[in-house]
Homo-oligomer: A and B are copies of this chain.
Amino acid sequence: MELRIVNKITIRPIGIIHSPYKEKKDIPIQGKFRSKVEAYIELKKKYVKGLKDLDKFSHAIILYYFHKSQREDIEGKPFLEDEKHGIFAIRSPHRPNHIGISIVKIQKIIKNKLYFTKVDVFDGTPIIDIKPYVKHFDEQQNVVSGWTEKHFQDGNIPEKTINQIKNLD
């Protein structure tokens, strides 16, 4: 028996992301590995009051639409891997509903513009939500990170990630 749930939800972007990343080859696998690059969110003007007090937080969680993905995979091979994993065990854009999340470092907020670093999104990405990153909610204890663990042993950042980004640093 198929599940009986709401069938369709309509999302309307709240703004757009302006980023220096125009092409796939430029973009790091996670913004955390490119801490100096700056981007900004330009919110629709009607949402400007929604940013009140967000500048008291160091980090935000942004939700956005993977607008460049044209397909939906059920399994995929992440950049660092030779092996396939289920789409819900990887962070690939080619997923059902094409929604991405990133944790970014807030730099400043001026009117309807939120400037941030730790960028890993394309220029022109539609943004659908911004949430405060709350230490007491979002940090977890005893985290085990599946297939990613072997790539980050002893605090290392994998060479593949570095190679991909060195031209821009």
Cross-chain contact A132 with B146 (CB below 8 angstroms): yes
Residues facing B in A117-169 (CB within 8 A) are 124, 126, 128-140, 142-148, 151-152
Nearest residue in B to A56 (C-beta to C-beta)? B146
Question: Which residues of chain B are near A7, meaning CB under 8 Å?
Answer: 12-13
Q: Which of B86, B96, B99, B148 contacts A54 (CB 8 A)?
A: B86
Cross-chain contact B10 with A5 (CB below 8 angstroms): no
Given contacts A54-B88, A91-B137, A101-B63, contact A128 B9 (CB under 8 A): yes
Cross-chain contact A9 with B11 (CB below 8 angstroms): yes
Which A residues are within 8 Å of any B CB, using their own CB? 2-3, 5-16, 30, 32, 42, 44-47, 49-54, 56-61, 63, 65, 67, 74-75, 84-91, 95-97, 99, 101, 103, 105, 124, 126, 128-140, 142-148, 151-152
